[in-house]
Amino acid sequence: MKDMSRRSFLKAGTVATAALAMAPTDMLGKAKAKKNVQTGKIKLLGVGVGGRGHADINGVTYKDERNKILYDDVEFIGMCDVDFKYAQGVLEEYQKNFPNMKVYNDYKVMYAELLDKADAVICGTADHTHAIICAEALAAGKHVYCEKPLTRTVYESRLLTKLAAKAGVATQMGNQGASGEGVSLVCEWIWNGEIGEVTRVDAFTDRPIWPQGLERPTEVHEIPDTLNWDAFIGPAPKRPYNSIYHPWNFRGWWDFGTGALGDMACHILHPVFKALDLGYPIKAEGSSTPLMSDCCPSAQVVKLTYPARPNRPKVAMPEVVVTWSDGGIIPFRPEGLEIGKNLNVSGGGAIFYGTKDILVVGCYGQKPYLVSGRVPDAPKVCRRVTENHQRDWIRAIKEIRAGKTDWTKTASDFSEAGPFNEMVAMGVVATRLQGLNQVLEWDGENMRFTNIPEKATVKAMLKDGFSIHDGHPTFDKKWTEPVNAREFAAELIKPKYQNGYVLPDMPA
């Protein structure tokens, strides 16, 4: 598949012209749940395979070696990526292993032709298209694996949670640390009362490692012939192409990503959410470096307050404050931590402050330890994943296909990943509403803030305008027009899809 371009791809006839013209709203009417085939290989579709999606499709097919399929219980029947140049090596690799696999540069077209033939979908696209791609698959009764963050917004996370429950399918979010030993140990230590009651958690990451805090580019670049820019934009507002957005830097732009928080909190805060039995926060507050209109800030701090939860047999679950920081802001060191010990493990970490001890755990749940130096011997009550994160999802699919009514959910099933991702999405909202200069009170059940004044407004910076003339600093900041804060908050919670894209209705 050398130098495959959009033009040559479409000319190859892989996709019917009629299917190309199909709008997303048309497809939703056909997205009816169908009973999966119970025998034979699991037929998979991959959407967004050129980046992190590559690791996910490898996870379900390979074990140790490359370019040799070691798991023969799966079969890719279709793969899609908006950028053939970025994904070329992956597509060539998999077409060698699955000669009948079809290739697309628009998921809508692939779904129109192959969704009813598939058992499951793997989604590794940019954040802003996770919800629509996964929602359509779930509405069609397909098993779904989705990269983190599960969605950009609270409403989208709630929707995927409910759609997955209604479909009764196997799901998994791509926070692979959830399947690791460290997360299990953190849960077991806390549930066994090893550190006492936890009322404070500080968490952080050293990300971003991509550009953030930028002004919206004014230069328009020529769209590469290998890139389907319209398909990349998807439900987001239209904008001219600039190479700063794609393929990797999408994370730093509000319309496409969720910044360092969305990227890494799904790895770092998962043991916090799981071990402390968190649900919806009741208060949220955010602060950051200059808040730009289009781009995530270079660094931010978010504070979420959670109410007391039902006590566990060996430990109470009182109100807890979780503080997140990124952009190089590391929490102050806990008292008693040995001099020289780095809190950053593989990109960040979390510090649980208990009434008996302090627990520190790295990114992905790695290398948990107590500041006291004691090594707990708590009962092993968490299920251990015997294969990798992706293969555990395949294991769950196989159990369902075998007719098991008591099949075991994955380590980050949407029943947990959805509510957890709302925690991550809420952090983004808190940062973007910092201009209200107040602590936000959150009604999680109804997905709304209860204390934003009726006439309050917010704005963001368009241009920083900082320069130096003859050694003297000059400031000429330009701002967006103020907008109603309630309306802006509502759209941050539930985005307005554009370009004909429409999500399925929220199940009851």
Do the domain assignments include residue 283? no
CA distances for 153 relative to 29, 267, 399, 405, angstroms:
24, 17, 31, 32
pLDDT at 12: 37
Three-state DSSP class for residue 294: coil
How far apart (Å, rounded) are the C-alpha atoms in residues 203 and 331?
7
Do the domain assignments include residue 274? no
- Structural domain boundaries, residue 407: 6-178+388-414
Do the domain assignments include residue 22? yes
pLDDT at 66: 59
pLDDT at 79: 98
Longest dimension (CA), the chain: 76
Q: Is 242 exposed, middle or buried (0-12, 13-18, 19+ CB in 10 A)?
A: middle
Three-state DSSP class for residue 321: strand
CB 182 within 8 A of CB 362: yes
Three-state DSSP class for residue 224: coil
Three-state DSSP class for residue 162: helix
Do the domain assignments include residue 197? no
* pTM for the model: 0.92
Domain count, the chain: 1
Do the domain assignments include residue 15? yes
Which parts of the chain have pLDDT scores under 50?
A: 1-37
Do the domain assignments include residue 221? no
Six token digits for residue 110? 């692939």
Q: What is the dihedral of CA 244, 458, 157, 499, to 10 degrees?
A: -60
Residue labelled with tokens 């020529």: 222
Q: What is the CATH number of the domain that holds 148?
A: 3.40.50.720
Do the domain assignments include residue 303? no
Phi and psi angles of residue 450, each rounded to the nearest 5 degrees, phi first: -105, -5
CB 205 within 8 A of CB 265: yes
Six token digits for residue 342? 């780095």
Q: Give me the half-sphere count of Cα atoms (radius 13 Å) on the Cβ side of residue 169.
A: 28
pLDDT at 469: 86
ω into 208 cis (within 30 of 0): yes
Six token digits for residue 329? 């802001």
Do the domain assignments include residue 89? yes
